[in-house]
């Protein structure tokens, strides 16, 4: 089962209750963020000292004003000299300062909504904030992504996890789909996917230069999800040409034709957030992997090496020495021995492997 | 406020922790035969995030490691925290902690004029250990609506508002205050409490500021940080920031209310602790110090020059989370120039991106290590450049200029000049974990290019923040541990400033070693040499630079100094300043290799294989 917390940024109204069935686009909660303030230098416009302003004000704190409506009006020399201060926006007078002669007008509130994002059932309501949606689904976590929440039908565009996703693989009938490639996506394939309205591309790797060109700037710090590039991109392995993990590829393939909810948002800081692919389905429940992960690494644990010189290699832990050992860089670190799929046994720092969830 | 449970002279055991954003580090200290020493360290993942959302769990786990290593029980059996004071069997006499979990202290700063009060407010916030998210000023080049949008999008932990000298500008300061209020900034840690704001501006405006702000903000008003243009007084603002940090920010972070009850000393932001440690070095040696905390996400640079302490933080320069931002800001070509073998730019950038998305991985190969060391040089270089924009003379003051100055049109803004820096001190994972100590020394030298005679130190096992917070209540213990167990003496760098043609004579060095043996070295331009002189040994040196080269006493003038030894030794650097690296990459690689080999920087055979 997959749970998603759907929460407003500030308090508001929740529209669902426990037990409700929701679709991708069901509105779960709504609120209003106070409107933007507009500062009008009324005294300066008229040419008065701030404390001389009050007699010429036509509106007081709390009054509503329309855009263009006068908030202050000044006449002198028997009406020969006139100065008007119109409101630049429609809103409410929030403050009038006798120190600065500024009038602050608060604009109309801005509505903010949160939808369900995944189809499922409401299992908990967070009063005033949102709800928790639960669904029976497969959950795949990427390593890096860009682009916002979307959904679409899964389509496997390549024959193997090692094949590049090129422009030739991208076809008009994939409009709205979640397109799965293998080891890498080319720049042309990304551009064509956007042109044809593909919803999301899931792929093993992407070249750093291509990503920079595609989003129009170099990624400095990995806080993503807000890019407006017309597509969501989820990278499952890393940068450069990287064969998609066979298990991830097979899992996606087994759900070809299913609808998936995807989100490219990545935040690699405290409160780490990785991109995700959620595939709701009606099949039997698979066992959770939490238990296996909690027990940590033991001989036999399947791992993937995530740094040179064996980056991407997969194998099983054979030995976990307790003492620190010296590696090629001359650092003394905690290591483990891994028997790779090709039979070689290599020693790598423990920090450089990740457990493969089974 | 610190409330010690035992007089310091009776204390025997002290525990200090740092609750970092990923790891909580405990350090255990003991007084033995009248001398305070570091005993052991413990580490555990920080538990500020869900599902734990209680930092004390991570603290207990880190302390438990100390208990296991020493057999000395510190934690109460009922889970109520740390046993204080030591009763002859269990517990410690003092517990203190720093914290940067959950992003540390994030502040927004505002002032009237960007280069005057706003700049002073920025220095005050940085000095208090904050990450400054933005500096708002009347002349910051943005329209009012842009400032409002920016303030609304930030979710700071606190705001520091300055502006105007005492009795000076008033309505412009109020305009900034009204703009802030109208923007309705929201605190980062939840919506259920008032955002703290410190007012340190024109004191004549206090009644108006109170009327405007006290209803919606937790307002604290302190002495003006620029009472007159000629004086910057950041201390009251810095103290207020610390108090509000405890009272309003920490108390809303998960588990901190509990942690605050455990500690005897106010929780301090980690960089503030680190800054205290740098000040401790400067105070003790009575010398100018330039220090750095090169972390995974941020680079903090500290300077203490003629007693003036300034901290800068480059929030997005670091060796793991922010490693690709170093690449972005420095440019990949500037990282490539430190790599002495052939690697494709795309290969290096992919590796750095992969490090950023998997920040806890470590270099296994020599090639990877050298790539990371190249990035470190650039992060340090950029960090210092940023620091120099903050450590500046006070602006808005009329400068007295002599006739000699008339020929020198530009007035340099920063006073952080390498020739006046006596000590360089570094801390942070990359420097502390460098497999050979000479590597961290050389990285610092390449990046900062010290001039003259500079002593170099580094943190042994990351305990500068711990000792910094401890120094606020028990300076003698902090210094004893600092001196004996924390500060690794790397050695001394002797580097005349100047340039010349390759092969030209640069300096003659005569070193009289503690055993009476003397070394005489003549160095030519571009040469570099390392002489062994062990830690806690001094040598007498007479250094005579060639004409055109300066060691602090003018071109060609000899200096006599006592030179500090260290684990790396005495580095004679005749590369001149700025360090010349050929533009052409194959020549540049050859030059680098010569330097690396001269210092035995990396394992020779492996390095040859890479080239």
CATH code of residue B162: 3.40.50.280
How many helices (DSSP H) and strands (DSSP E) are in chain B? Answer: 19, 22
Residue B280 forms part of a structural domain: no
Host domain of residue B156: 104-262
Region A330-340: what's the mean pLDDT?
A: 94
Residues of chain B with C-beta less than 8 angstroms from the C-beta of A183: none
Confidence of residue A355 (pLDDT cuts 50, 70, 90): confident
Residues of chain A with C-beta less than 8 angstroms from the C-beta of B349: 208-209, 239
- Residues of B (21-50) whose Cβ lies below 8 Å from A: 21-22, 46, 48-49
Check residue B400 and give its pLDDT: 58
Residue B44 above 90 pLDDT?
A: no
Tokens describing residue B540 = 């007498």
- CATH code given to domain A297-355: 2.30.30.30
Report phi then psi at A136, rounded to 5.
Answer: -80, 115
- What SS3 state is found at A261? strand
CATH architecture, range A2-34+110-134: Beta Barrel (2.40)
Degrees, nearest 5: CA angle B7-B12-B15? 95
Pinpoint the residues of chain A covered by CATH 2.30.30.30.
297-355
**Do B364 and A327 count as a contact with CB atoms less than 8 A apart?**
yes
Distance CA B287, CA B277 (A): 14
B208 and B324 belong to one structural domain: no
**Do B364 and A307 count as a contact with CB atoms less than 8 A apart?**
yes
CB atoms within 10 A of CB B115: 15
- Answer whether B593's CB lies under 8 Å from B610's CB: no
Strands A314-319 and A335-340: antiparallel
- Answer whether A314's CB lies under 8 Å from A340's CB: yes
Nearest alpha-carbon partner for B171 in A117, A100, A152: A100
Confidence of residue A291 (pLDDT cuts 50, 70, 90): very low
Nearest to B350 among A50, A143, A240 (CB): A240
Note the Cα A110 to chain centre separation in Å: 21
Q: Is B101 on the interface with A (CB under 8 A)?
A: yes
Residue B106: which residues within 8 A CB-CB, separation 6 or more?
B130, B131, B133, B155, B156, B157, B158, B188
Distance CA A28, CA B580 (A): 62
- Answer whether B544's CB lies under 8 Å from B496's CB: no
Nearest to A329 among B22, B48, B369 (CB): B369
B470 and B329 belong to one structural domain: yes
Nearest to B144 among A39, A218, A239 (CB): A39
- Answer whether B311's CB lies under 8 Å from B275's CB: yes
Residues of chain B with C-beta less than 8 angstroms from the C-beta of A104: 178, 182
Q: Give which of A221, A235, A237, A275 to mutate to test B binding, by max B Cβ within 10 Å.
A: A221
What is the dihedral angle through the alpha carbons of B88, B90, B94, B98, rounded to the nearest 10 degrees?
Answer: 160
B380 and B516 belong to one structural domain: yes
**Do B182 and A104 count as a contact with CB atoms less than 8 A apart?**
yes
Residue B269 forms part of a structural domain: no
Check residue B200 and give its pLDDT: 97
Check residue A288 and give its pLDDT: 43
With CA atoms as reference, the chain A residue closest to B430 would be A331
CATH of A37-107, one of 1.10.3470, 3.30.810, 2.30.30, 2.40.50: 2.40.50
Residue pLDDT, tens place only, B551-609: 999 999 999 999 999 999 999 999 999 998 988 888 999 999 999 999 999 999 999 99
Distance CA B73, CA A72 (A): 73
Confidence of residue A238 (pLDDT cuts 50, 70, 90): very high
Share of chain A above pLDDT 90, in %: 78
Distance CA B427, CA B491 (A): 15
**Do A309 and B358 count as a contact with CB atoms less than 8 A apart?**
no
- Write down the mean pLDDT value for chain B: 91
Tokens describing residue B219 = 């307002």
Which of A87-111 are b and which e, b meaning 16 or more Cβ less than 10 Å from the residue's Cβ? bbbebbbbbbbebbbbbbbbbeeee
B426 and B559 belong to one structural domain: yes
Note the Cα B99 to chain centre separation in Å: 15
Residue B404 above 60 pLDDT?
A: no
Report the CATH number at residue B23: 3.30.420.40
Residue B534 above 50 pLDDT?
A: yes
CATH of A137-280, one of 3.50.30.10, 3.60.9.10, 3.40.50.2300, 3.40.30.10: 3.50.30.10
Residue B476: which residues within 8 A CB-CB, separation 6 or more?
B8, B36
Residue B56: which residues within 8 A CB-CB, separation 6 or more?
B47, B81, B255, B258, B259, B262
Note the Cα A119 to chain centre separation in Å: 18
Check residue B310 and give its pLDDT: 92
Note the Cα A80 to chain centre separation in Å: 59
Note the Cα B279 to chain centre separation in Å: 11
What is the dihedral angle through the alpha carbons of B332, B337, B340, B344, rounded to the nearest 10 degrees?
Answer: 30
B115 and B97 belong to one structural domain: no
- Residues of B (431-460) whose Cβ lies below 8 Å from A: 433, 435-436
Strands B505-512 and B518-524: antiparallel
Region B139-151: what's the mean pLDDT?
A: 90
**Do A238 and B191 count as a contact with CB atoms less than 8 A apart?**
no
**Do A104 and B367 count as a contact with CB atoms less than 8 A apart?**
no
- Answer whether B63's CB lies under 8 Å from B42's CB: yes
How would you class B65 by CB atoms within 10 Å of its CB: exposed for 0-12, middle for 13-18, buried for 19 or more? middle
**Do B354 and A104 count as a contact with CB atoms less than 8 A apart?**
no
Q: Which of B82, B101, B120 marks a domain boundary?
A: B101
B43 and B110 belong to one structural domain: no
The domain tally of chain B equals 3
Check residue B192 and give its pLDDT: 67
Residue B278 forms part of a structural domain: no
Degrees, nearest 5: CA angle B510-B516-B518? 25
B379 and B442 belong to one structural domain: yes
Nearest to B364 among A97, A220, A328 (CB): A328
Q: Which of B53, B69, B101 marks a domain boundary?
A: B101
Region B519-539: what's the mean pLDDT?
A: 95
Residue with tokens 């050695």: B491
With CA atoms as reference, the chain B residue closest to A145 would be B357
ipTM score for this prediction: 0.88
B305 and B195 belong to one structural domain: no
Cα of B169 to nearest chain A Cα, Å: 12
Which of B201-224 are b and which e, b meaning 16 or more Cβ less than 10 Å from the residue's Cβ? bbbbbeebbeebbeeebbbbbbeb
Residue A70 above 80 pLDDT?
A: yes
Q: Give which of A103, A130, A144, A220 to mutate to test B binding, by max B Cβ within 10 Å.
A: A220
Q: Evaluate the CA torsion angle B371, B372, B374, B375 in order and state its sign.
A: positive
Give bridge partners of residue A85 from the DSSP assignment: A72
Region B464-491: what's the mean pLDDT?
A: 95
B454 and B594 belong to one structural domain: yes
Check residue B223 and give its pLDDT: 97
Residue B409 above 50 pLDDT?
A: no
Task: Name the residue with higher pLDDT: B535 or A77.
Answer: B535
């Amino acid at each position: 089962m997959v749970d998603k917390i759907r929460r407003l940024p500030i308090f508001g109204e929740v529209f669902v209750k426990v037990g409700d069935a929701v679709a991708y686009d069901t509105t779960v909660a709504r609120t209003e963020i106070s409107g933007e303030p507009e500062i009008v230098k009324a005294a300066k416009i008229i040419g008065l000292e701030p404390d001389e302003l009050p007699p010429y004000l036509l509106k007081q704190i709390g009054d509503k004003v329309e855009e263009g409506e006068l908030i202050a009006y000044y006449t002198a020399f028997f009406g020969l000299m006139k100065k008007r201060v119109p409101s630049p926006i429609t809103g409410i007078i929030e403050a009038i300062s006798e120190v600065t002669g500024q009038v602050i007008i608060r604009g109309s509130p801005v509505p903010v909504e949160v939808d369900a994002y995944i189809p499922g059932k409401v299992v908990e309501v967070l009063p005033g904030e949102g709800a928790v949606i639960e669904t029976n689904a497969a959950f795949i976590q990427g390593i890096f992504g860009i682009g916002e929440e979307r959904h679409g039908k899964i389509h496997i565009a390549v024959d193997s996890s090692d094949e590049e996703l090129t422009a030739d693989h991208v076809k008009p009938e994939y409009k709205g789909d979640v397109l799965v490639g293998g080891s890498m996506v080319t720049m042309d394939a990304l551009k064509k996917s956007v042109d044809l309205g593909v919803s999301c591309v899931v792929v093993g790797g992407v070249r750093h230069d291509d990503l920079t060109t595609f989003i129009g700037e170099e990624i400095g710090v990995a806080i993503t999800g807000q890019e407006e590039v017309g597509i969501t991109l989820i990278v499952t392995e890393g940068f450069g040409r990287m064969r998609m993990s066979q298990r991830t590829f097979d899992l996606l393939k087994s759900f070809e034709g299913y609808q998936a909810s995807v989100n490219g948002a990545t935040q690699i800081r405290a409160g780490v957030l990785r991109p995700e692919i959620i595939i709701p389905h009606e099949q039997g429940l698979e066992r959770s992997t939490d238990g296996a992960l909690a027990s940590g690494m033991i001989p036999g644990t399947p791992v993937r090496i995530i740094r040179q010189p064996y980056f991407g290699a997969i194998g099983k832990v054979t030995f976990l020495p307790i003492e620190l050992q010296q590696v090629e860089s001359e650092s003394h670190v905690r290591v483990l021995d891994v028997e790779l799929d090709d039979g070689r046994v290599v020693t790598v720092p423990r920090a450089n492997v990740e457990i493969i969830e089974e | 406020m610190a409330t010690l449970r035992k007089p310091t002279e009776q204390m025997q055991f002290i525990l200090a922790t740092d609750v970092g954003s990923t790891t909580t580090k405990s350090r255990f200290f003991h007084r033995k035969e009248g001398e305070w020493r570091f005993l052991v360290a413990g580490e555990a993942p920080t538990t500020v995030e869900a599902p734990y959302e209680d930092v004390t769990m991570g603290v207990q786990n880190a302390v438990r490691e100390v208990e296991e290593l020493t057999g000395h029980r510190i934690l109460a059996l009922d889970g109520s925290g740390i046993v204080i004071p030591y009763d002859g069997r269990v517990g410690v006499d003092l517990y203190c902690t720093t914290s940067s979990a959950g992003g540390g202290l994030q502040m927004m700063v505002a002032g009237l004029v960007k280069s005057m009060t706003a700049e002073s407010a920025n220095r005050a916030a940085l000095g208090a250990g904050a990450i400054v998210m933005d500096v708002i000023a009347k002349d910051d080049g943005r329209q009012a609506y842009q400032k409002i949008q920016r303030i609304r999008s930030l979710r700071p932990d606190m705001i520091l508002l300055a502006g105007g000298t005492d009795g000076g500008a008033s309505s412009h300061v109020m305009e900034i205050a009204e703009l802030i209020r109208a923007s309705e900034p929201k605190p980062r840690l939840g919506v259920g409490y008032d955002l703290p704001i410190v007012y340190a501006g024109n004191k004549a405006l206090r009644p108006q500021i109170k009327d405007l702000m006290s209803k919606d903000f937790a307002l604290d008003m302190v002495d003006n940080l620029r009472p007159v243009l000629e004086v910057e007084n950041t201390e009251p603002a810095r103290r207020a920031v610390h108090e509000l940090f405890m009272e309003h920010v920490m108390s809303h972070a998960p588990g901190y209310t509990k942690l605050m009850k455990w500690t005897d000393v106010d929780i301090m932001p980690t960089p503030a602790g680190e800054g205290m440690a740098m000040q401790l070095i400067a105070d003790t040696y009575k010398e100018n110090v330039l220090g750095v905390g090169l972390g995974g996400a941020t680079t903090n640079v500290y300077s203490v020059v003629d007693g003036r302490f300034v901290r800068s933080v480059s929030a997005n320069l670091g060796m793991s989370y922010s490693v690709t931002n170093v690449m972005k800001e420095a440019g990949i070509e500037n990282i490539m120039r430190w790599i002495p073998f052939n690697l494709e730019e795309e290969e290096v950038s992919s590796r750095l991106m992969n490090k950023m998305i998997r920040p806890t991985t470590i270099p296994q190969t020599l090639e990877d290590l050298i790539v990371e060391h190249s990035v470190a040089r650039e992060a340090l270089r950029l960090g210092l450049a940023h620091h120099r924009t903050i450590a500046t003379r006070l602006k808005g003051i009329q400068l007295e200029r002599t006739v000699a100055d008339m020929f020198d049109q530009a007035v340099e803004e920063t006073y952080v000049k390498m020739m006046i820096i006596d000590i360089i001190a570094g801390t942070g994972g990359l420097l502390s974990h460098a497999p050979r100590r000479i590597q961290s020394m050389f990285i610092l030298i390449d990046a900062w290019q010290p001039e003259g005679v500079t002593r170099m130190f580094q943190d042994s096992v990351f305990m500068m923040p711990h000792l910094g917070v401890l120094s606020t209540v028990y300076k003698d213990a902090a210094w004893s541990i600092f001196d004996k167990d924390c500060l690794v003496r790397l050695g001394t760098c002797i580097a005349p400033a100047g340039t010349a043609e390759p092969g030209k004579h640069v300096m003659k060095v005569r070193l009289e070693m503690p055993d009476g043996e003397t070394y005489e070295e003549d160095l030519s331009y571009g040469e570099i040499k390392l002489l062994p002189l062990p830690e806690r040994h001094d040598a007498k040196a007479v250094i005579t630079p060639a004409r055109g080269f300066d060691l602090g006493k003018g071109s060609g003038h000899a200096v006599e100094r006592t030179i500090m030894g260290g684990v790396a030794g005495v580095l004679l650097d005749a590369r001149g300043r700025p360090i010349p690296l050929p533009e052409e990459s194959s020549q540049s690689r050859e030059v680098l290799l010569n330097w690396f080999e001269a210092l035995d920087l990396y394992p020779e055979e492996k390095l040859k294989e890479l080239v």
